[in-house]
Amino acid sequence: MTDGASKGKILEIDGLQVSYGAVQAVKQLNLDIGAGEIVALIGTNGSGKTTTLRSISGLVANTRGRIRFAGADITKLAPHRIVGLGISQVPEGRGIFPDLTVLENLRLGAYVRRDKAEIEADIRRMYRLFPRLEERKKQAAGTMSGGEQQMLAIARALMARPKLLLLDEPSMGLAPLVVKEIYAAIRQINQDGVSVLLVEQNAKMALGAAHRGYVMETGRIVVQGTAAELKSNDVVKSVYLGSTV
C-alpha cells in the first residue's frame, strides 16, 4: 500500500478534452496515478491544471475522453457520486464553509459515511494530524488564518476516507513555515495509504514530495517523468525551479 512504485493504477485519464465555450482549456490530456503514489501536476497559471482537477471531480460538464477510477468509468458521474467512490478534492482557495464551525466542516467532510463511531474516531485523528483544529473546533471556520483554513480543508477532505486525494495549490498564499507543515501532513497522509494528485505552481515543493510528475502548458502535458528526472530536466529547471527557488 505504501509503496510508491506499486504497479496498480488508481486513476487513468485518457484523451481528456475540456472546452469553455470557444476556449479549449485542456487538449488531449493523458495522465495516470498508481496506487500509493504522490503525483505532481505542475504548470503556470492558466495551463489547465485546475480544470483537470475539476474534471476528475465531475464539476465540468463539457468533457471528452475517459476518466477511470479503480477500474470504473467515472467520466459522466455526478460530483457527489465520485466522492462516494473515494475521490476527495481540496479545491483552489480551500473552499471551507466560512459560517460553519470547524467541527461542522469536518462532519460535512464525512457526509457520505454512515459509520458514526468511526467518524468520531476520525475527527480525533484529524485533531492529532492538525492540533490547531481541535483548539478552534467551535470557531467559525471563516475567522481562521489561511494556513489553518488549509489544514481544515485537507482534514475535511480526509474525513470522507478517500483512496485518492486531489490537492489544488495547497501552498498558495501561505508562509514558508506553514507550507512545510502542510507538506509534512501530505507525506503522512500518503504513508497512511492515500494516493495523492498534487497541483502546484510551487514546483520545488511539489517535486520534493512527489514520486512522479507531469508538467502542463496551455492544456497539454509537455514533460513527464519521475520527480528526480523532472528536477534535473532543463526546461523544468529554467522555467519552474529557477523562479521559485
Partner 1 sequence: MLLQQLTNGLTIGMIYALIALGYTMVYGILKIVNFAHGDIFMIGSFLGLFFMQEFRLPLYLAFLLAAAATAIIGILIERLAYRPLRMADRIVPLISALGVSTLLVSLAQKLWGTEMHPFPTAFGSRTYTFGNVTFSEIQILILVLSFVLMLALQLFVTRTKTGIAMRATSMSLTHAALMGINTNRMISLAFAIGSALASCAGIMVGIYYNAVYPTMGYMAGINAFTAAVLGGIGNIPGAMLGGVLLGLVETLGGAYISTQYKSVISFSILIIVLLVKPSGILGSKEINKV
Interacting residue ranges for partner 1, rule: CB under 8 A: 57-59, 61, 78-80, 83-84, 88-89, 91, 95-100, 104, 107-109, 111-112, 156-157, 160
Least gap, CB of 87 to partner 1 (angstroms):
10
Cβ proximity to partner 1, 153 vs 203, nearer residue: 153
Cβ proximity to partner 1, 95 vs 225, nearer residue: 95
How many CB atoms are closer than 10 A to CB 173? Answer: 12
Please state the φ and ψ torsions of residue 85, each to the nearest 5 degrees: -75, -25
Least gap, CB of 71 to partner 1 (angstroms):
20
Q: Crossing angle for the helix pair 116-129 and 176-191, nearest 10 degrees?
A: 140
Angle among Cα 26, 31, 40 to the nearest 5 degrees reads: 95
Q: How many residues does the chain have?
A: 245
Q: Could you give the CA distance from residue 72 to residue 57 in angstroms, rounded to a whole number?
A: 14
Residue 154 corresponds to which amino acid? Answer: I
Which H helix or E strand runs over 148?
helix 146-158
Cβ proximity to partner 1, 22 vs 61, nearer residue: 61
Cβ proximity to partner 1, 85 vs 241, nearer residue: 85
Partners of 80 in the β-ladder: none
Q: Crossing angle for the helix pair 146-158 and 176-191, nearest 10 degrees?
A: 10
Cβ proximity to partner 1, 97 vs 237, nearer residue: 97
Burial 8-20 (b: 16+ CB within 10 A, else e): ebbbbbeebbbbe
Grid coordinates of 100: 460553519
Least gap, CB of 77 to partner 1 (angstroms):
11
Least gap, CB of 80 to partner 1 (angstroms):
5
Least gap, CB of 222 to partner 1 (angstroms):
28
Q: Could you give the CA distance from residue 75 to residue 133 in angstroms, rounded to a whole number?
A: 34
Least gap, CB of 155 to partner 1 (angstroms):
13
Grid coordinates of 144: 481562521
Cβ proximity to partner 1, 88 vs 233, nearer residue: 88
Cβ proximity to partner 1, 87 vs 185, nearer residue: 87
Least gap, CB of 205 to partner 1 (angstroms):
23
